Structure 1
Amino acid sequence: MLKCDFLYQQGDFSLNVELEMQQQLLGIVGASGSGKSTLLKNIVGLLKPQQGYIQLNEQLLMDTRQNIHIPMYQRKIALIFQHALLFPHMNVQQNLRYAEKLVDKSERKFQFDDIVELLDLTTLIQRKAHQLSGGEAQRVSIGRALLSSPHLLLLDEPLTGLDRSLKQQILPFFKRIKEELDLPVIYVTHHPEELEYLEAETLQLSQGQLQRNSMDCG
């Protein structure tokens, strides 16, 4: 699936990552400032490592020795941030269809109706983005990411800012993604209980280095 061995440096901070992901869901925990978001931004292509390589399936996304750097929009990786980034002037269906239209029909991994059902979006389909609660908006954001037919889904603190009841509503949808979709997922958080619920194998990011977590759920 995903193989990385790279160094990213910014000022005094150094992120040195060696990772080989074969499982369906990988959790990464770490304190604020440990480099979790920086790691995901390097994988998706928002940031560029100074040296090393990143490979997804059989494709090299970047390799400094071979001077390869595939731009973000060609990497087929979806990144979901802490706050849902939806088009406010569009309703839910239009937000979802926007992502779907960007993918050729022959390359679509998931069907529109299946994703709407998976994420329980049927009753929201005609609502405008600004009419959604935080939890509803995040579910739509997840659906839009899935309809872009990614080969890898990155979740950057996806439940941050949601209260406990909303977190408990959304976590089962992540479990359904894990169990029902053929899609590798990296889930980054500083709340290990979220990964315990999802039964995710977990790595700890500390001082710019990944290491096996003593609380590994796998």
Structure 2
Amino acid sequence: MLEVALRHRFGRDGFAIDAAFTAPEVGVTALFGPSGCGKSTILAAVAGLLQPHEGRVAVDGGVVLDTARGISVAAEHRRFAVVFQEARLFPHLSVDTNLRYGLRRAPRDATGPGFEEVVALLGIAPLLARRPGRLSGGERQRVALGRALLARPRLLLMDEPLAALDAGRRGDVLPFLARLRDAARIPILYVTHALDEVDALADRLVLLDAGRVLAEGAVEQLAARTDLPLAARRDAGSLITCTIDAHDPVRGLTRLGFPGGAFFVSLRAEPPGSRARIRLRARDIAVATEPPRGISTQNILAATLTGINEAASSHEAFLTLSIGPTVMLARVTRDSVTRLGLVPGMALWAVVKAVTFDHAAGHPGDEAAEPVPTPASMASWG
């Protein structure tokens, strides 16, 4: 487990960090928040690149920083690997030699993926003879990730590794990051302000604002909370982990199963049994007080209204819907709440149009999904 507690101020009246959180021994913990909230400063302090005024950092009980006890292990001895926005490869060395530099830094007794496995994992075998100047930005980042993993660190730190890439390149690199996460089997601290990266990669979320932790926990749990700044975003909604149950090529549909139900979406490429996590934006979900008929939407799910909460606008409200153990959010007008007589405990039908999942699949740069049709017994926001 990673344990972090830091306090630091830049100048007498400057920006201050006062943050504490934990991360599990395996998986990705995302530090998320607006620019200037302290994400990169926290990561720098964990890496040993910044000495905080007060703090403690430990990995699996091994303390690398404890200002109260006078402990501060130098950055090069912490066995933490850092991946920055820029790949920072050696320009005069080939990709192969850059990767092997990371391998040479690994302790003799350290375990982890081998050279060939990492090369295959990141799809960089065709690049081995090239130098960094002949690589695209996405290729350079994949090589930087491989070099970091081959050093076999105790902790992998990523400071917005995709921020310098355009939307297309980010979309290309994200699947490789997911493979790296699964293969590394170490804690990964990932700094980002891009919610699609959180959705695709993170197991745990630390939500930051003005140098302080607003909330921490499983990504799915925090996404469903309407009392956090996430709820004020245009893409606010629920995050649902699904399994690809089956494909129907004739109809052009894929069935995604989740605890409590299933979605039918446009045909996907992943094989049955694969896992997929999707974001359903609250504004793309309508509700009905009776089963809708005569509409094109197939994703009509029986639900129980378990809560009605305030939204950023006084004219809107968030509905918390339970579909078995799965929680889903819908954003509707206050007028709809009154007109439909919505109260907690009511049986409702959640209506999600299939094209919504084009955005929910997490492709960077997607445009807004087509709004759901709204018959008289249905309520939606738009």
Residues 100-119 of structure 1 mapped to structure 2, 5 A cutoff: 100-119=103-122
Deviation at 1:108, TM superposition (A): 4.2
Q: Secondary structure at the match of 1:47?
A: coil
AA aligned to 1:100 is L
Give a deviation string over 1:166-217, Cα, whole Å, max 9, x none: 1111101111122233121111111111111225322211010112264275
AA aligned to 1:168 is G
Higher RCO (C-alpha under 8 Å, 6+ residues apart): 1
Residues 187-206 of structure 1 mapped to structure 2, 5 A cutoff: 187-206=190-209
Deviation at 1:104, TM superposition (A): 3.4
Structure possessing the higher radius of gyration over alpha carbons: 2
Given that residues 108 and 147 in structure 1 are in contact (C-alpha distance below 8 angstroms), is that contact kept between their aligned partners in structure 2? no
Question: Does the alignment pair 1:151 with 2:154?
Answer: yes
Identity, % of aligned positions: 35
Deviation at 1:8, TM superposition (A): 1.4
Q: Secondary structure at the match of 1:118?
A: helix
In structure 2, relative to structure 1, the CA distance for the partners of 1:166 and 1:95 (3 Å cut) is same
- The structure 2 residue matched to 1:86, chosen from 85, 89, 94, is 89
Unpaired runs of at least 5, structure 1: none
Q: Secondary structure at the match of 2:223?
A: coil
AA aligned to 1:8 is H
AA aligned to 2:8 is Y
Give a deviation string over 1:24-72, Cα, whole Å, max 9, x none: 1111111111111101000000001111211111211111111000000
Unpaired runs of at least 5, structure 2: 217-221, 225-238, 241-382
CA distance in 2 between counterparts of 1:199 and 1:60 reads 25
Given that residues 29 and 188 in structure 1 are in contact (C-alpha distance below 8 angstroms), is that contact kept between their aligned partners in structure 2? yes
Question: Does the alignment pair 1:174 with 2:182?
Answer: no
2:135 is matched with which residue? 132
Structure in which a larger fraction of residues adopt helix = 1
Structure 1-normalised TM-score? 0.95
CA distance in 2 between counterparts of 1:71 and 1:104 reads 16
Given that residues 23 and 204 in structure 2 are in contact (C-alpha distance below 8 angstroms), is that contact kept between their aligned partners in structure 1? no
1:18 is matched with which residue? 20
Between 100-109 and 37-46, report the one with greater CA deviation. 100-109
1:9 is matched with which residue? 9
Between 115-124 and 3-12, report the one with greater CA deviation. 3-12
Given that residues 205 and 211 in structure 1 are in contact (C-alpha distance below 8 angstroms), is that contact kept between their aligned partners in structure 2? yes
2:41 is matched with which residue? 38
AA aligned to 1:14 is A
In structure 2, relative to structure 1, the CA distance for the partners of 1:104 and 1:201 (3 Å cut) is closer
Given that residues 137 and 165 in structure 2 are in contact (C-alpha distance below 8 angstroms), is that contact kept between their aligned partners in structure 1? yes
1:51 is matched with which residue? 54
The 4+ residue runs of structure 1 with deviation greater than 3 A are none
1:65 is matched with which residue? 68
Number of corresponding residues: 218
For the aligned residues, what is the CA RMSD?
1.6
In structure 2, relative to structure 1, the CA distance for the partners of 1:196 and 1:52 (3 Å cut) is same
CA distance in 2 between counterparts of 1:163 and 1:58 reads 39
Q: Secondary structure at the match of 1:106?
A: coil
Q: Secondary structure at the match of 2:146?
A: helix
